[in-house]
């Protein structure tokens, strides 16, 4: 890997622009305050009404860290509390996917998955059903056995686009991002070892951060949310393998959306509550009114973070989870998809459904290329872990796939240009292209869509721009100028 230093500033440590966090005062709904008191959480009122939200990030363990010196979140070794809130959009490290801005309590999902992983003997298949914007998804990714498959789904198109961007920047090559409802996903059959259901909720736990959560709260909203959550869970239960586990979570305090829904899952769908070990000093509150249910409540004033409820339920039928690839209803062939009787699948869409010849030199852009299957999808070439190709095909048949694996290249004229997703990915072969170090000023210009100037010594052709030892993006160096390959939709606008 050839590296060229663009400026002296490129050798210094990155710094975040810090903005002081101001305390807030919120007028909480009277009915909400009474509910908290009735269930023994009245002490949270002061923290919600007058406290300041904690600022926390989770570092990407697969990329160089930019926030090592901060205080560690107790239940997440990759989590960091920040004393003040930076302008994250003006930090190139954030755009590189070197850390994710995430509420500290939500990081607990990673601890849950890491605890569950002790029972798995290899890679597993996981669905994050309500995944946007991607915080819990990336936490789950980092907690899973290496090589596991993650399907991250979001119903709202605009939120699905944000989810895709965050997944690309995080860099895991074995992720599928889908856009659709859980009713469509229910057609997958019993495909997943783990389903994460961070279901839409009344948002009570986010009132310090979201004024809309305060304004919209009502007992009617709570009932409507509980009904929607039950509908979603019923759909998801159908695609959870027998013996598989559901991680059910909300950012609420009320019992109707929390313990009562969990009790209903166990009683009506057939499950058992799973206990997750927690540290004594973490300040987590156990379940309320349901002694037979293991639940983990994050309550402002007791824990450092916003409100969160988590419970883990195992689908109870005799089986053994071993992990690995699923056969599904279809088998892969070199000429397309066929059903179990060998008939051609006429419903198969374009893209990854058939093996398409792509230029062999593109495989050299990947680290360990034999682990991936390259395929054309319109003017794009993607790579996906070969062991999970049947699952990718299976997902494509029931819902809209908006991202799969690694976007390796895009056809421009007669030639293929490396894609931004390639240099963000763990699968990127860093020796495939020359690298140039850039400073913060140049990095921000690049993120705003400008084409930066490179040193005269920089080679012609495709060049990776590095910011503090980590790829930020690509340009094509024409000598007298450069063409930026940064995705236009992701341009920085401040």
d(C-alpha 51, C-alpha 56), whole Å: 15
63 and 120 share one domain: no
pLDDT tens-digit profile of 167-195?
Answer: 999 999 999 999 999 999 999 999 999 99
96 and 110 share one domain: no
- Residue 265 contacts by C-beta under 8 Å, 6 or more apart in sequence? 233, 237, 246, 248, 271, 313
120 and 53 share one domain: no
Domain termination residue (choose one: 275, 293, 315)? 315
99 and 120 share one domain: no
**Where in the sequence is the domain holding 27, given as residue range(s)?**
18-104
343 and 425 share one domain: yes
In DSSP terms, 403 is beta-bridged to 177
308 and 238 share one domain: yes
469 inside domain: no
Give the C-alpha distances (Å, rounded to integers) separating 153 from 15, 132, 136, 250, 390: 34, 8, 12, 17, 18
Question: Of residues 76, 201, 225, 251, which has the active-site annotation?
Answer: 251
50 and 38 share one domain: yes
Q: What is the pLDDT along the chain (494 residues), one digit of tens a residue?
A: 545 544 433 444 465 555 555 555 679 999 999 999 999 999 999 999 988 899 999 999 999 988 877 899 999 999 999 999 999 999 999 999 999 999 999 999 999 999 999 999 999 999 999 999 999 999 999 999 999 999 999 999 999 999 999 999 999 999 999 999 999 999 999 999 999 999 999 999 999 989 999 999 999 999 999 999 999 999 999 999 999 999 999 999 999 999 999 999 999 999 999 999 999 999 999 999 999 999 999 999 999 999 999 999 999 964 444 444 343 333 332 223 334 344 444 444 444 444 556 888 999 999 999 999 999 989 999 999 999 999 999 999 999 999 999 999 999 988 999 999 999 999 999 999 999 999 999 999 999 999 999 999 999 999 999 999 999 999 999 999 999 999 999 999 99
Assess contact for 103 and 135: CB atoms under 8 A.
Answer: yes
The domain that contains 98 carries what CATH number? Answer: 3.30.70.1170
Half-sphere exposure of 388 (CA within 13 A, CB side): 27
Q: How many domains does the chain have?
A: 3
E strand or H helix that includes residue 437: strand 435-437
Q: What is the pTM of this model?
A: 0.89
163 and 249 share one domain: yes
290 and 343 share one domain: no
Is 251 annotated as catalytic? Answer: yes
176 and 287 share one domain: yes
d(C-alpha 248, C-alpha 332), whole Å: 33
Domain termination residue (choose one: 430, 460, 480)? 430
């Amino acid at each position: 890997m050839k590296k060229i230093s663009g400026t002296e500033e490129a050798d210094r440590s990155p710094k975040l622009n810090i903005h002081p966090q101001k305390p807030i005062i919120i007028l909480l709904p009277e009915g909400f305050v009474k509910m908290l008191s009735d269930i023994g959480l009245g002490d949270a009122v002061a923290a919600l009404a007058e406290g300041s939200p904690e600022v926390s990030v989770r570092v990407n363990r697969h990329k160089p860290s930019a926030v090592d010196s901060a205080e560690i979140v107790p239940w997440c070794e990759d989590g960091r509390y920040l004393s003040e809130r930076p302008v994250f959009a003006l930090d190139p490290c954030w755009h590189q996917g070197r850390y994710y801005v995430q509420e500290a309590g939500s990081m607990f999902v990673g601890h849950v998955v890491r605890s569950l992983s002790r029972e798995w003997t290899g890679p597993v298949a996981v669905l994050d059903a309500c995944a946007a914007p991607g915080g819990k998804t990336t936490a789950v990714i980092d907690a899973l056995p290496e090589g596991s498959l993650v399907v991250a789904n979001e119903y709202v198109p605009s939120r699905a686009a944000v989810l895709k961007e965050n997944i690309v920047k995080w860099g895991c090559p074995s992720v599928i991002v889908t856009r659709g409802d859980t009713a469509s996903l229910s057609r997958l059959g019993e495909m997943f070892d783990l389903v994460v259901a961070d279901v839409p909720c009344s948002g009570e736990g986010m009132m310090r951060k979201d004024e809309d959560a305060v304004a919209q709260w009502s007992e009617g909203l709570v009932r409507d949310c509980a009904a929607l959550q039950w509908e979603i869970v019923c759909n998801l239960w159908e695609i959870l393998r027998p013996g598989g586990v559901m991680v059910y979570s909300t950012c609420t305090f009320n019992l109707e959306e929390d313990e009562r829904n969990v009790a209903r899952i166990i009683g009506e769908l057939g499950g058992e509550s799973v206990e997750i070990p927690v540290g004594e000093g973490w300040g987590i509150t156990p379940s309320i009114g349901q002694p037979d249910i293991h639940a983990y409540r994050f309550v402002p004033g007791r824990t450092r973070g916003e409100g969160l409820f988590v419970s883990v339920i195992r689908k109870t039928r005799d089986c053994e989870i071993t992990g690995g690839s699923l056969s599904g209803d279809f088998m892969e062939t070199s000429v397309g998809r066929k059903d179990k009787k060998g008939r051609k699948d006429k419903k198969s869409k374009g893209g990854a459904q058939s093996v398409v010849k792509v230029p062999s030199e593109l495989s050299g852009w990947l680290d360990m290329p034999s682990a991936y299957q390259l395929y054309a999808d319109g003017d794009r070439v993607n790579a996906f872990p070969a062991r999970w190709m049947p699952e990718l095909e299976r997902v494509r048949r029931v819902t809209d796939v908006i991202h799969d694996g690694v976007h390796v290249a895009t056809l421009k004229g007669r030639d293929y240009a490396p894609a931004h997703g390639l240099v963000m990915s763990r699968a990127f072969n860093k020796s495939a292209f020359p690298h140039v170090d850039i400073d913060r000023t140049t990095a921000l210009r690049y993120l705003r869509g400008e084409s930066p100037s490179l040193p005269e010594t920089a080679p012609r052709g495709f060049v990776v721009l590095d910011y503090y030892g980590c790829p930020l993006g690509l340009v094509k160096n024409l000598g007298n100028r450069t063409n930026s390959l940064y995705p236009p939709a992701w341009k920085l606008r401040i």
